Amino acid sequence: MENIKRILLIGGPGSGKTSIINSIENAGYQVHHEISRLVTKRAQEKGIEQLFLKDPMAFSNELLKGRIDQYKKATKGVHFYDRGIPDVPAYHKFTGDEIPESYEQASNKYRYDSVFFLPPWEEIYESDNERYESFDQAMTIGSILLKYYKDLDYYVHEVPKASVEERLEFILNTAAID
């Protein structure tokens, strides 16, 4: 078995995951960036403004495939992920769309070693071209994500609302990363 440690960051939109993952990368760790913006951008280049809204299943299928690819491409060492495979079916709980069995199977098959939840934080929340959710929706998504991961028997560490440096230190210390 490969010697890989997978550390996952989850949370609703605008909770600070990207700032933390960038800080982790700047510290020299291997990171796997969120791919939903890439999927959205590719769709926009094809004239589809919000693929998530127009065809949620096509969007979800692209996300799931990309996240599984990220998971499989990891080599030895510590890897940090900005969102995980179970985020895909969890978002279907938010939208009320049916969750395909293959999504549930992937969520159970590809497991992470540590999961860190970044709670909703209104003071840092910003919307943009790819983040169309309101802060209230971001709070709901965060709650759904947290419950979904707990239902998959993950122990989820809640990251305190603090500076990026303090959040990074919390994650590294809690995950026992040197």
pLDDT in tens, 122-163: 777 566 655 567 778 878 889 999 999 999 999 999 999 999
Q: How far is CA 137 from the centre of its chain?
A: 16
Q: How far apart are CA 14 and CA 124, in angstroms?
A: 7
Q: What is the pTM of this model?
A: 0.89
When computed from its CA atoms, the radius of gyration of the chain, rounded to whole angstroms, is 15
Coil, helix or strand at residue 59 = helix
Residues 8/115, Cβ–Cβ less than 8 Å: yes
Read off φ and ψ for residue 82, nearest 5 degrees: -95, 95
* Domains of the chain by start residue, with CATH: 4-174 (3.40.50.300)
Residue 44: band (very low, low, confident or very high) from pLDDT cuts 50, 70, 90: confident
Structure tokens at 100: 């395909």
The string of pLDDT tens digits covering residues 80-100 is 999 999 999 998 998 888 999
Where are any strands of DSSP class E within 90-145? Answer: 114-117
